[in-house]
Amino acid sequence: MMPRDRFLEIKKFLYFTSEMQDQTDPLSKIRPFYDTILKACKENWISTQNVSIDESVISFTGRHSGVVYMPRKPIKNGFKIYVLADYLSYVVNFIPSFCFSNKEHNVKNIVWNLVEDYGFKGYHLFMDR
């Protein structure tokens, strides 16, 4: 947990610009930040044999094309994120759902995009339906 005051101090200096935005990349505005977080997740992960893929929701009520509404979930509005995590709940990889086009948004593509960088030979992958 991060104290509120520390978060507000960091947030004060955090700004994302839309200059030179790539129209084909939905994460172009935050791509360097996103890549840095993913790199840190991958470098600090202590490999375990059991990994799972699940979805998570980051609460957000503002305007954005990637916001989903799921009335039966505890968090009703927000960004849906597909997460690869180990059995200790360490997030190894994650991809926002709005990064997939309607044509690509299927289980095979989601799973492949999450695990392709790891070469999971000999691992146990768990998923729900």
> Residue 6: pLDDT band by 50, 70, 90 thresholds?
very high
Distances (CA, A) of 27 to 98, 99, 120: 9, 8, 26
DSSP for residue 16:
-
Reported pTM: 0.80
- The token duo for 25 is 């990349």
Residue of 45, 57, 101 lying closest to 82 (CA atoms): 57
pLDDT > 90? residue 94 = yes
Q: What is the dihedral of CA 33, 83, 67, 69, to 10 degrees?
A: -160
pLDDT tens, 33-67?
A: 889 999 999 899 988 889 999 999 999 888 888 89
